[in-house]
C-alpha cells in the first residue's frame, strides 16, 4: 500500500492538461507563425509556481509554445515512458513526427526548410518545457534532433542538402544524430581519428564513432571527420552528412547504459563508406570551428532542459516529506530537510538566471562560449546534487524503481559528461579568465 501511495504522490503534482487532439497540425503551425509578428510585450505580472517562473527573455508567445509542447508531452510521451525505458529505446520517428507537425522541431530554422524563423530563445523555451518529460533519455534525443545535429548544418549546408535532409528532420520524418565522440576522442574533438579521402567526386570514409545518441534509429549523421591531412588538427576536420543506410555504415551495438535508458546510444563503424563530396557541410577544414560554434547552442540547451526537472524533484520531495511521518511528525518539519530544499531551489533559480542571461546575449549576436560553459558546468553539478540530496530524503522508497527520483538520479549523471565534461568546461572557463597554464605560457 505504501508504494502505491508514493507513486500517486510523486505524480500528483503533474497538472492534468486538456487532450492535445484539440490542437490540429494547422492550428499549431498557424499559432506559431503568429509568434513571429505578435507583440513582444512583457508577460503580465501574476502569482505562479516556482516551476513555471520565467524571466524577461520570454514573451506571451514563448509561453504559448511551451503550453503546446506540454500538451504533447502529456499525451504523446509520458503515458509511454515506462514501456520505452524497459525496451531501451523510444520510437523516435513516431514521436518526432507529432512534434514536427506542430512546428516544434524547427523553431529557429529557416522557413524555406519548414522552420518557423524565430530566434534561439524559442528553442530554449521548448528545451525548458521538455523537463516535464518523465525520462531523461527522451529529453536528450530531442536535444540532438533540434540543437546538436542541426545547427551547423542549418547555417552552412547547401540548399540542396538542406532540402533533402534538414527539411524532413524539421518535419519529424527523419531522425538525426551527430558523430563527434570516439573511444579516444570524446571531449577532445581535435583528436578525432575518423577520416575521409577524396576519390573522384566522392568521399571515402573510414573510422568509428562512440556513444551516439539516436544512433540506432537515425536516418543520417552529421559526421565530424578528418578531410585535410596536410593541415593542423584544428583545420583538418569537416562536417559531412552521411545517410545511415549507406553501404559500409554499421551500427555495431546499442550501448547498455546506467541511465537514459529510453535513448538509443550506439557505436557506429564506417568502412569504405562512399558519399558525394556535395554532402560536405560548409567549407572543408572548418569542421572543428563549426563544432565549437555549435557547442554554444548545445550547452545552453543542456542547461535549460535541466531546470524544470530539478524544480519537479525538489517539489515532489517536499510533498513526500510533508506526508511521510517519522517519530510522530512530518519529515519535512526537520530543519535540515526544509533548509536543504530551500537552498537547492535557490541554486536552481540562480542557474536559471545565468542561462537566461546567456541566451539573451546569444540572441543579440554575442559569443557566449564563456557563459554557456558556465551554464553547462553548473547544470551538471547542480543536477547531481539535487538528485543525491532529494533521494536521501525519500529514504528506502527513493531507491526503488517505483518513483521518479530513482530514474532522475540515474539519468542526470550524464549531464556532467555528455556535450563536454565538467573538466572541459572548467578548462574553457579558465582560458577565458586568462588563468590557465597555456595562457600563462603565451604571456
Q: Are 35 and 123 in contact (CB under 8 A)?
A: no
Query: Residue 156: which H helix or E strand, with range?
Result: helix 151-156
Whole-structure pTM value: 0.86
**What is the domain class of 288-438 according to CATH?**
mainly alpha
| Annotated catalytic residue 228 | no
Q: pLDDT at position 397, please? A: 92
Q: Which residue ranges in the chain fall short of pLDDT 70?
A: 1-55, 439-443
Determine which one of 101, 167, 182, 298 is catalytic. 298
Q: What's the CA gap between 55 and 62, in Å, rounded?
A: 11
The CATH superfamily label for domain 7-40+48-175 reads: Acyl-CoA dehydrogenase/oxidase, N-terminal domain (1.10.540.10)
Q: pLDDT at position 185, please? A: 83
CA angle 111, 112, 115 (to 5 degrees): 35
Percent of the residues in the chain that have a pLDDT greater than 70, as a whole number: 86
Instruction: Provide the 10 A C-beta neighbour count for residue 386.
Output: 28
DSSP for 233-244? Answer: GGGSEEEEEEET
Q: pLDDT at position 33, please? A: 52
Q: What's the CA gap between 218 and 243, in Å, rounded?
A: 9
Q: pLDDT at position 187, please? A: 76
Architecture of the domain whose range is 177-287: Beta Barrel (2.40)
Q: Are 164 and 219 in contact (CB under 8 A)?
A: no
Identify the CA nearest to 251 among candidates 287, 219, 205. Answer: 219
What do you get for the CA distance between the two ends of the chain, in Å? Answer: 67
Q: pLDDT at position 141, please? A: 97
Q: pLDDT at position 29, please? A: 53
Residues in the chain, total: 443
Q: Give domain limits for the chain.
A: 7-40+48-175, 177-287, 288-438
Amino acid at each position: 500500500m505504501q508504494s502505491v501511495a508514493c507513486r500517486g504522490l510523486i505524480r500528483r503534482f503533474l497538472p492534468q492538461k486538456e487532450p492535445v487532439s484539440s490542437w490540429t497540425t494547422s492550428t499549431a503551425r498557424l499559432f506559431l507563425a503568429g509568434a513571429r509578428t505578435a507583440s513582444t510585450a512583457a508577460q503580465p505580472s501574476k502569482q505562479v509556481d516556482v516551476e513555471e517562473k520565467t524571466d524577461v527573455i520570454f514573451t506571451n508567445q514563448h509561453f504559448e509554445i511551451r503550453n503546446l509542447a506540454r500538451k504533447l508531452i502529456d499525451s504523446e510521451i509520458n503515458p509511454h515512458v515506462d514501456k520505452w525505458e524497459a525496451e531501451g529505446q523510444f520510437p523516435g520517428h513516431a514521436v518526432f513526427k507529432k512534434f514536427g507537425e506542430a512546428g516544434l522541431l524547427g523553431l529557429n530554422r529557416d522557413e524555406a526548410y519548414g522552420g518557423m524563423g524565430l530566434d534561439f530563445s524559442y528553442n530554449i523555451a521548448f528545451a525548458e518545457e521538455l523537463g516535464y518529460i518523465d525520462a531523461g533519455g527522451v529529453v536528450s534525443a530531442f536535444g540532438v534532433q533540434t540543437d546538436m545535429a542541426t545547427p551547423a548544418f542549418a547555417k552552412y549546408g547547401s540548399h540542396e542538402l538542406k532540402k533533402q535532409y534538414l527539411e524532413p528532420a524539421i518535419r519529424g520524418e527523419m531522425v538525426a544524430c551527430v558523430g563527434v565522440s570516439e573511444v579516444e576522442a570524446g571531449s577532445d574533438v581535435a583528436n578525432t581519428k575518423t577520416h575521409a579521402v577524396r576519390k573522384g567526386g566522392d568521399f571515402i570514409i573510414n573510422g568509428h564513432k562512440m556513444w551516439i545518441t539516436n544512433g540506432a534509429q537515425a536516418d543520417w549523421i552529421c559526421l565530424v571527420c578528418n578531410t585535410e591531412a596536410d593541415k593542423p588538427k584544428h583545420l583538418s576536420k569537416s562536417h559531412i552528412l552521411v545517410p545511415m543506410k549507406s553501404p559500409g555504415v554499421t551500427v555495431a551495438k546499442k550501448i547498455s547504459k546506467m541511465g537514459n535508458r529510453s535513448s538509443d546510444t550506439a557505436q557506429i563503424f564506417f568502412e569504405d563508406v562512399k558519399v558525394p563530396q556535395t554532402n560536405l557541410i560548409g567549407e572543408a577544414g572548418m569542421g572543428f570551428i563549426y563544432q565549437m560554434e555549435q557547442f554554444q547552442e548545445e550547452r545552453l540547451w543542456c542547461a535549460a532542459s535541466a531546470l524544470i526537472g530539478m524544480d519537479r524533484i525538489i517539489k515532489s520531495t517536499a510533498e513526500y516529506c510533508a506526508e511521510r511521518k517519522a517519530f510522530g511528525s512530518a519529515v519535512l518539519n526537520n530543519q535540515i530537510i526544509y533548509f536543504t530544499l530551500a537552498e537547492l531551489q535557490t541554486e536552481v533559480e540562480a542557474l536559471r538566471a545565468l542561462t537566461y542571461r546567456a541566451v539573451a546575449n546569444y540572441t543579440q549576436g554575442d559569443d557566449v562560449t564563456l557563459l554557456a560553459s558556465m551554464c553547462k558546468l553548473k547544470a551538471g553539478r547542480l543536477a547531481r546534487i539535487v538528485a543525491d540530496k532529494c533521494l536521501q530524503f525519500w529514504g528506502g522508497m527513493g531507491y526503488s524503481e517505483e518513483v521518479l527520483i530513482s530514474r532522475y538520479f540515474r539519468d542526470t549523471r550524464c549531464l556532467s559528461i555528455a556535450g563536454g565534461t565538467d573538466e572541459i568546461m572548467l578548462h574553457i572557463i579558465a582560458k577565458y579568465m586568462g588563468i590557465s597554464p597555456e595562457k600563462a605560457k603565451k604571456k
